[in-house]
Each structure stands twice: as C-alpha cells, then as structure tokens.
Amino acid sequence: MHPLDLSSDTPHNYFLLVGLGNPGRQYEKTRHNVGFMTMNRLAAHLGENFSKLESKALIAKCTYQEQRLVLAKPQTYMNLSGKAVSSLLRYYKIPLSNLLVAYDDVDLPLGTLRIRPGGGSAGQKGMQSIVEQLGTEDFSRLRLGIGRPPGRMEAADYVLQEFRRDEAEALDLVLDAATQAILTFVSGGLDKAMNLYNSRNT
C-alpha cells in the first residue's frame, strides 16, 4: 500500500492524537486500554469529553496554544484501529507529522513511557493495523509501559487483565506524564517531547 497522500493545503495547526484500546465496559480498566486512559486524562485536562462519534472513533475536539486538536479513541476494537485513524486523517487533512498514537507496550515497565518518531509495531495489533492502513511506519508514537506477563502467562491474556490495586499510583503518575508529553509534542515538537520525557521514568 502506498503511504497516505494528503493535499498540500493541509491545515498544519491540526493534530490527531489517538489512544488505542477496546470499546466496552469489560475492557475499560485493562492494560490494553492504557491508550484510551491517556486520551481520557488529556481530554479532562483540557476540559473536554468524548461525546461525538466520527469515522468509527469517539472524538473530542479542543484547542491548545492555538493548535486545533482532535483526540480519538477508535471503536473498531484494537485489531482494526487503522481504519479509524486513516479515515480521520483524510477527513481532517492532517499531515502524518501531526499524528501521535498512544498505546500499551509489554516491553516497558509500568511507569515508563517512550516517544518515538517511527518504527515497527512490535507485535501490537492496533499499531500493526495503523501501519497497514497508512502504508508507512513514519508517524509519532507514545509507548506506555504495562510490564511483562508474569511466569508463563501469554501476552494476549495479560493485556486483557485489569491493573492491580498496588499499581494504581504508578498508573496515575504515568497518565499525567503522558498528558504533558503529548501537549509538549503539540506545542514544542517531537524532539522537545523526546528530550524531556524519554530520559526519565515517572
């Protein structure tokens, strides 16, 4: 598939900020939904909520430092996240440089986040779907650590478990850090966000 082609009259003050997860109350507090949790925290910080459905995604629209933000939580289930993301990018004519996707990563410990300008999906099905739909890996992503599965537990089972009570504080701190990292990405660019947030744990 060819990379997503957007017209040259793209409004560069538009950003698409996506959190990955699964819809439904049964998944709400699971590790796989830490991307949704991040978008919820970001929307609350900006005084908005997810009240509209567009392109198979719940969205919230707001403004931050003269930038127009579209926050999105795809409702297609994780494995088909790319359909919502590609549709929203086309509809709002947002350049790939203004896309950031937040998602769970079992290769990072809880309380850790990493911002990257691109790269593979590392087996994360939602990211894999987005890469396939966009035809490129060259878009910013925010990896949120959820820790490794204990013992011989399969990753597919682990990510659908809820966070433990003793992990609540670390989760709360990393969601706050993720919110600030995303706002730094919007206002100061990817390099600034990486320099500030990749060098530390929460």
Q: Which of 2, 12, 32, 45 is catalytic?
A: 32
CA dihedral of residues 15, 90, 25, 173 (deg, nearest 10) = -20
Q: Based on the residue annotation, tell me whether 45 is a catalytic residue of this protein.
A: no
* Domain limits, the chain: 14-197
pLDDT digit string, tens, across residues 56-97: 999 999 999 999 999 999 999 999 999 999 999 999 999 999
The predicted model gives 143-164 an average pLDDT of 93
| Integer Cα distance of 103 and 168 in angstroms | 18
Res. 1 pLDDT band, cuts 50 70 90: very low
pLDDT digit string, tens, across residues 34-49: 999 999 999 999 999 9
Res. 2 pLDDT band, cuts 50 70 90: very low
Instruction: Answer whether 0.85 is exceeded by the pTM.
Output: yes
Least trusted range by pLDDT, from 74-78, 148-152, 171-175: 148-152
120 vs 36, more confident: 36
- At which residue do the structure tokens 């003269």 appear? 66
Res. 29 pLDDT band, cuts 50 70 90: very high
Evaluate if residue 4 carries a pLDDT over 70: no
| Integer Cα distance of 102 and 176 in angstroms | 13
Q: Which residues pair with 101 in a beta bridge?
A: 18, 141
| Integer Cα distance of 18 and 160 in angstroms | 20
Let me know if 43 is exposed, middle or buried by CB neighbors in 10 A (0-12, 13-18, 19+): buried
* CATH top-level class of 14-197: alpha beta
